[in-house]
Amino acid sequence: MERLDLVFINNTAVKTTFELFNSFNTFSQITNKNLVTPLIDYIPFPVYPPPLDIIKLKGNVIFDQYGNLYVLDNASGSVACEIQCSTYPYRAVLNALLIKKIMIKKIRISTSSSPQQLTTQIRRFEQIPLTNKYKQDTYIVTISPNNVQPLLNEFEKDIPIDAMSGLLYAIQPNEVVYWTCDFEFID
């Protein structure tokens, strides 16, 4: 079993939906018109360090030198949202999923302060390249009966992820959420 340690940071005052994976059509590389999320208004600029002053890049999506993803605010250019991966650079994870498939087996969710974040649904979507076919599945997250710690939950479900699929996960305002994903490579 392999593991990915992800951190999602929502620095905004509104609930924001994060898109994960979806390597073929990720919002970090191209504007994704199929998703109903505030992130679609951002322009991908997948280069770091950016060749322009950060204020000139407001409203863009960039990667830092460690492969972490940052969404910059449209007005100020400050960091609105972040996706970090401590196991591997998140940018490398996106690139690897272009050629490899994984099966997520379990997600350990922890949050900095919001208990309701622990039961936020996870949506898996799939887009077939060069077609308009789009499919979405919703997974209801409940508190695990084995859970004994506040602000921690485990969600067990086989969720296949490849280049054409991804996850949508809403993060509460001003919240930090940690995911530890246990997964296996599949053929």
Residue 65: left (phi > 0), alpha (psi -120 to 50), or beta? alpha
Q: In whole angstroms, what separates CA 180 from the centre of its chain?
A: 12
pTM value is: 0.87
Residue of higher predicted confidence among 59 and 38: 59
Structural domain containing residue 71: 2-186
For the chain, the C-alpha Rg in angstroms (whole number) is: 16
Give the residue-averaged pLDDT of 37-52: 50
Residues 25/134, Cβ–Cβ less than 8 Å: no
The two tokens of residue 182 are: 């246990």
pLDDT tens readout for residues 100-150: 999 999 999 999 888 999 999 999 999 887 777 889 999 999 998 877 788
Q: How far apart are CA 67 and CA 72, in angstroms?
A: 15
What pLDDT is attached to residue 38? 46
Total domains, the chain: 1
Q: How far apart are CA 39 and CA 41, in angstroms?
A: 5
pLDDT tens readout for residues 69-102: 988 887 777 888 999 999 999 999 999 999 999 9
Q: Is the model's pLDDT at 45 over the cut of 90?
A: no
